[in-house]
Structure 1
Amino acid sequence: MALEFLKHDVNVNPSQSLSGDQAGDLLGRIGSLETRLARTEREVNAAQAVRYRVFVEEMKAQLPADAMRQRRDFDAYDAVCDHLLVVDRSIDGDIEDQIVGTYRLLRQQVAMAHGGFYSASEFDIAPLLARHPDKKFMELGRSCVLPAYRTKRTVELLWQGNWAYALKHGVSAMFGCASFFGTRPEEHALALSFLHHNARVKGEWHVAALPELYREMDLMPVEAANARKALNAMPPLIKGYLRLGAMIGEGAVVDQAFNTTDVLVVLPISAISGRYINYYGADAGRFAS
């Protein structure tokens, strides 16, 4: 999902070699756009430059000095994650010029071998993982698309890539932070209250913000949280996950560095609507030809 920043140490660094899953095949194509995993360090660097353009230049995030100087958003997780790209082949130039969107994917097996998930810096995910020892989790993060490409087909390709990747690795559930712009949850009272009253995780999927970071989402009574107005006030990414069947963790977290208010999205594969599985392909082949 969107706008994370490393807040605890892991035993890797940005100069390490890429994870072993980087040579994946094409995962989807619509017109001149295609989605696939990054294959080289050069492509990851280009994706980090796209993230910088969106997070820093557009959304006014404050990265560490080294990242600001290099004009790339990077942290230690980049060395162990797989990087999903949307590439526009109609653009003349090198790969640095063609990447228009990206997602960062972190499988549980990889995360546990390298210090854990990013989301653990904001949300208490350990009990969630412990309740599902037989399931494979995947974290989605650093989602961004350049302004000119924020269209339905770009979003479809990003999801197609996530879906194909999840099927390939036998993922049981996806989760990750999604963000509202700004550090005042009260400015998003309608949307946050709607999520709290209508999409909050319960039961075996319950997860909450860390107590020391917890910010209330229940800012308006249920009868005041008009669904149509609330959905209109939400970032497209969060609306998209709700349509798929996602749930939202309890409590929000303010991320001062990225100038955002974060919520945790939890999406069990079993909760995804059948019509979306049929659309993207039970074998992830919908857009792969």
Structure 2
Amino acid sequence: MIRLKKGAYTAREAANASDIQESQELRARCFGLAADTDDYDDRCTHILIHRVSDDVLVCCFRLMPLTGSTITRSYSAQYYELSALAAFDGKMVEMGRFCIDPAAIDPDILRVAWGAMTAYVDANGIELLFGCSSFAGTETSDYLDAFAMLKARHLAPSHWLPRVKAPKVFNYAARLRRKPDAKKAMLRMPPLLRTYLMMGGWVSDHAVVDDKMNTLHVFTGVEIGSIPPARKRLLRVIAG
């Protein structure tokens, strides 16, 4: 059972249906939806991060344990052809529906979230963490430097590369011919994706245009064994 307290925040696993409903309500507000529930919720462990001072939920995400043979059951498999990862020999977990209350502007929230994730990964022997990293909106022109940076430095190894499955995608690796402006790229990179990349994460060569969620998202993976040692130590200090 994941439970930790760091500074002004606590992180814990959902203990009952009302906890899950609370996370669904935060997700709906963050994603601009009337409601945000699906069948995947029943298969996941839900992590909730509350502010200690008033017990307000400020962040949540869900975790679905998988293996290569079951990766087609993941949320991401709706949008990406993941047969290459079926050969991955190790435990996986999909992180999804990650959101932070827009009114809660504090970088420590993301740090505590990754601390909780690290505790889960260590407790369960996870070797691959993956999910969909989302850019707000569906206008690709807003993120060309970010996508050019992903193409130049962060594409998945060819043996794990997800293939196109969704009907509407932006094939940025094939289409972009620009040298990225590093400063602009990092300014437009979503915070969650920046953290993945700092851990040595890699991404798909295309972005899915998700009109329902009003996002562009890329498949993102982190092989736990490849995380830089200094980053691992920092995460485990937070998780401890």
Give TM-score, length-normalised by structure 1. 0.77
Aligned to 1:279: 234
Give the CA deviation at 1:268: 0.5
Give the length in aligned residue pairs. Answer: 238
Counterpart of 1:118 in structure 2: which amino acid? Y
Counterpart of 1:227 in structure 2: which amino acid? A
Give the CA deviation at 1:267: 0.5
Structure 1 portions without partners, runs of 5+:
1-23, 62-67, 92-96
Matches within 5 A, 1:227-242: 227-242=182-197
Match of 2:48 among 78, 85, 94: 85
- RMSD, aligned α-carbons: 2.0
| Larger strand percent | 2
Aligned to 1:30: 6
> How far apart, in 2, do the equivalents of 1:168 and 1:104 lie?
16
Match of 1:49 among 25, 32, 46: 25
SS of 2:126's partner is: coil
- Residues 1:149 and 2:125 are matched in the alignment: no
Identity percentage of aligned residues: 27
SS of 1:221's partner is: coil
In the superposition, relative to structure 1, how do residues 40 and 251 fare at CA in structure 2: closer, same or farther (>3 Å)?
same
Aligned to 1:123: 80
In the superposition, relative to structure 1, how do residues 85 and 189 fare at CA in structure 2: closer, same or farther (>3 Å)?
same
SS of 1:279's partner is: helix
Matches within 5 A, 1:1-289: 24-26=1-3, 28-56=4-32, 61=33, 68=34, 72-91=35-54, 98-108=56-66, 112=70, 116-129=73-86, 131-132=87-88, 134-210=89-165, 212-218=167-173, 219-222=175-178, 224-281=179-236, 286-287=237-238
Q: Contact 1:102/1:143 (CA < 8 Å) preserved in 2?
A: yes
SS of 2:41's partner is: helix
User: 1:75-131 CA deviation, whole Å, 9 max, x = no partner?
Assistant: 11111111011011210xxxxx6211001100005x939x700101111112212x2
Give the CA deviation at 1:239: 1.1
Q: Contact 1:122/1:213 (CA < 8 Å) preserved in 2?
A: no
SS of 1:39's partner is: coil
Give the CA deviation at 1:25: 4.1
Structure 2 portions without partners, runs of 5+:
none
Determine which structure has more spread, i.e. the larger CA radius of gyration. 1
Give the CA deviation at 1:288: 5.1
Q: Contact 1:29/1:287 (CA < 8 Å) preserved in 2?
A: no
Counterpart of 1:220 in structure 2: which amino acid? L
Give TM-score, length-normalised by structure 2. 0.92
